[in-house]
């Protein structure tokens, strides 16, 4: 300003000369400012205000804030290309960046959420973060859980794949069905078929919990018969106490309670776990078909578009103009084949379902779905876990295969449907006979193997 004022005092000629000179100077200054701004907007060129060797509090605070920003930016970009930050930073690393995502290790503690809201300010607006999880349902530190379950931790470390993924199943002697009065699927060794399926589809990252001596003996005898070069079946005897309320209920309840308990442990140890029933056929390796973009990616009991959620409506004629209304209907997921990622939100669903089942007898399937799908309302907060429903023509249940979309799958010789990844015999009592027909059809090329099976449970139904 003072230069401009002084220029007013000169004569006209001198004045114009000075104006040119000033304009040049001013122009250069603008270019210089622009260059500085350019440099400033490129973080890599930003001069570090901290030293890597600093030990004083202020410098460390600056360095920490800078690292945090860079980590947040990296985590967002990594997540966008389906790279799991935990694979690189280790499980629990979400504590470093928190509260931004609704999935993953996000929002792990209220302090983190507050802190994230204060430091992350996209487009000049404060971010909104979902409510933090109840600390009761957060995963405990992996090291602590490992110290309590050293054998299981070792097995997971040995058999998980390089993405820290494991297929986890449970079995007992009933699955072998030596005594047909004990099994209810008209006989047939489901365990043996499942083991053959693991081998056929080369699912090496599996782990089977064996709950009785008879099944354990079956597996060790089988391994001895087949010799050391055969496909290796990874199994162990879980050492988990069944909650008293489930102890006297149906065998299925005892099994589900054990399943949830092992699942909680594997998740807390940082393993993404595909829990599996045995009454299904993996025609190819399911790990090659996962999207890995949700806390829970599961097969469905749905056999049409309701599997994914569809809109429906009510019509109440006595209401006249206001007689309509829309609602969503979503079929329950089937935890007989469900990929649960090691995230706090997936864990919260599992733990809430397990705690409920430990307190009162219940059907795991129903309890799990209730916790996953019920919306937050009033004082009730859902775990806000995200769900992906597996493609129902890749992970097919037996009702869709034999009934709803029968014309696409059968007869086999003229089938128009693509080869499924998995078929689950959750809708039919003659499970094993149908498992065998699917194995014959897809593993052994007997195209008509399933053609004569009825659509329903009764002969002649379609
Ligand atoms: C089969 O199981 C039933 C019910 O537990 C038992 O009564 C029967 O003796 C068993 N049969 C054989 C051959 O073990
Ligand atoms: C089976 O999978 C393992 C581990 O992923 C791999 O090393 C092996 O080559 C596969 N075998 C076949 C026959 O594809």
- What is residue 131's predicted lDDT score, i.e. its pLDDT? 65
Please report whether residue 226 resides in a domain: yes
Please report whether residue 73 resides in a domain: yes
What distance lies between CA 359 and its chain's CA centroid? 26
Contacts of 451 (CB under 8 A, 6+ apart): 410, 411, 412
Q: Which of 182, 187, 212, 251 to mutate to test the pocket of ligand 1 (most atoms within 8 A of CB)?
A: 182
Identify the domain boundary among 128, 156, 173. 128
For the CA atoms of 313, 318, 322, 327, the dihedral, rounded to the nearest 10 degrees, stands at -20
One domain for residues 290 and 417 = yes
Long-range contacts of 434-443 (CB under 8 A, 24+ apart): 434/398, 434/402, 435/188, 435/190, 435/193, 435/279, 435/280, 435/281, 436/188, 436/193, 438/281, 438/283, 439/193, 439/196, 439/197, 439/200, 439/281, 441/412, 442/281, 442/283, 443/200, 443/283
One domain for residues 123 and 169 = no
Identify the domain boundary among 82, 98, 128. 128
Contacts of 30 (CB under 8 A, 6+ apart): none
pLDDT band for position 21 (cuts 50, 70, 90) = low
* Ligand 1 pocket, CB under 6 A: 179, 181-182
One domain for residues 72 and 216 = no
* Ligand having the closest approach to the CA of 232: 2
Nearest CA to ligand 1 atom 3: 181
pLDDT band for position 111 (cuts 50, 70, 90) = very low
Answer yes or no: are the C-beta atoms of 137 and 122 closer than 8 Å.
no
One domain for residues 364 and 243 = yes
Please report whether residue 178 resides in a domain: yes
Pairing of strands 324-329, 280-282: unpaired
One domain for residues 289 and 375 = yes
The answer on pLDDT for 127 being more than 90 is: no
Q: How far is the CA of 228 from the centre of ligand 2 (A)?
A: 16
Provide the H-helix boundaries in 108-229: 110-119, 142-148, 150-159, 190-200, 213-226
Please report whether residue 402 resides in a domain: yes
* Ligand having the closest approach to the CA of 180: 1
Tell me the average pLDDT of the chain.
Answer: 83
Full domain range(s) for residue 117: 60-128
One domain for residues 67 and 151 = no
pLDDT band for position 91 (cuts 50, 70, 90) = low
Please report whether residue 4 resides in a domain: no
One domain for residues 185 and 267 = yes
Q: How far is the CA of 183 from the centre of ligand 1 (A)?
A: 11
Please report whether residue 215 resides in a domain: yes
Q: How far is the CA of 361 from the centre of ligand 1 (A)?
A: 27
One domain for residues 218 and 153 = yes
Question: Taking residues 395-402, what's their average pLDDT?
Answer: 98
Using only C-alpha atoms, what is the Rg of the chain? 30
* Ligand having the closest approach to the CA of 173: 1
Whether 93 lines ligand 2, by a CB cut-off of 6 Å, is: no
- What is residue 179's predicted lDDT score, i.e. its pLDDT? 77
> Residue 259: what are its φ and ψ, rounded to 5°?
-60, -45
Domain count across the chain: 2
One domain for residues 415 and 339 = yes
One domain for residues 241 and 291 = yes
Q: What's the CATH code of the domain at 400? A: 3.90.550.10
The answer on pLDDT for 319 being more than 60 is: yes
- What is residue 72's predicted lDDT score, i.e. its pLDDT? 84
Q: Which of 201, 202, 282 to mutate to test the pocket of ligand 2 (most atoms within 8 A of CB)?
A: 202
Please report whether residue 25 resides in a domain: no
Nearest CA to ligand 1 atom 1: 179
pLDDT tens-digit readout, 192-217: 999 999 999 999 999 999 999 999 99
């Amino acid at each position: 300003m003072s230069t401009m004022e002084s220029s007013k005092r000169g004569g006209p000629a001198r004045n114009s000369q000075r104006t040119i000179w000033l304009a040049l100077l001013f122009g250069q200054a603008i270019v210089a400012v622009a260059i500085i701004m350019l440099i400033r907007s490129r973080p890599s060129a930003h001069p570090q205000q901290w030293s890597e060797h600093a030990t004083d509090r202020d410098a460390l605070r600056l360095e920490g804030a800078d690292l945090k920003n860079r980590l947040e930016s990296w985590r967002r970009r990594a997540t966008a290309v389906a790279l799991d930050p935990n694979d690189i930073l280790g499980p629990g690393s979400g504590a470093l960046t928190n509260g931004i995502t609704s999935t993953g290790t996000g929002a792990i503690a209220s302090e983190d959420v507050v802190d994230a809201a204060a430091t992350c300010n996209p487009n000049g607006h404060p971010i909104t973060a979902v409510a933090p999880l109840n600390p009761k349902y957060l995963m405990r530190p992996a090291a602590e859980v490992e110290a309590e379950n050293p054998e299981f931790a070792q097995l997971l470390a040995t058999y998980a794949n390089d993405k820290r993924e494991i297929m986890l199943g449970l079995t007992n002697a009933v699955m072998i069905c030596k005594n047909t009065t004990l099994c209810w699927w008209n006989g047939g060794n489901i365990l043996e078929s499942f083991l053959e399926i693991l081998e056929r589809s080369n699912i090496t990252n599996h782990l089977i919990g064996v709950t009785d001596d008879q099944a354990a003996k079956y597996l060790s005898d089988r391994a001895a018969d087949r010799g050391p070069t055969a496909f290796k079946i990874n199994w162990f005897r879980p050492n988990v106490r069944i909650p008293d309320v489930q102890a006297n209920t149906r065998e299925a309840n005892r099994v589900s309670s054990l399943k949830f308990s092992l699942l909680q442990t594997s998740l807390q140890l940082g393993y993404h776990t595909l829990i599996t029933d045995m009454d299904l056929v993996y025609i190819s390796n399911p790990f090659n078909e996962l999207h890995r973009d949700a806390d829970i990616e599961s097969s469905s009991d749905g056999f049409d578009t309701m599997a994914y959620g569809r809109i429906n409506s009510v019509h109440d004629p006595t209401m006249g103009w206001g007689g309509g209304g829309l609602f969503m209907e979503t079929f329950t997921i089937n935890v007989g084949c469900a990929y649960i990622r090691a995230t706090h939100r997936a864990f919260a669903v599992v733990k809430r379902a397990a705690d409920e089942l430990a307190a009162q007898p219940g059907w795991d399937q129903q309890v799990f779905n209730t916790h996953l799908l019920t919306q937050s309302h009033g004082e009730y907060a859902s775990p806000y876990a995200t769900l992906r429903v597996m493609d129902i023509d890749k992970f097919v249940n037996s009702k869709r295969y034999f009934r709803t979309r029968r014309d696409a799958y059968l007869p086999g010789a003229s089938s128009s449907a693509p080869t499924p990844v998995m078929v689950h015999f959750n809708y039919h009592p003659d499970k094993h006979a149908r498992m065998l027909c699917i194995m014959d059809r897809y593993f052994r090329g007997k195209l008509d193997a399933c053609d004569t099976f009825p659509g329903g449970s009764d002969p002649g139904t379609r």
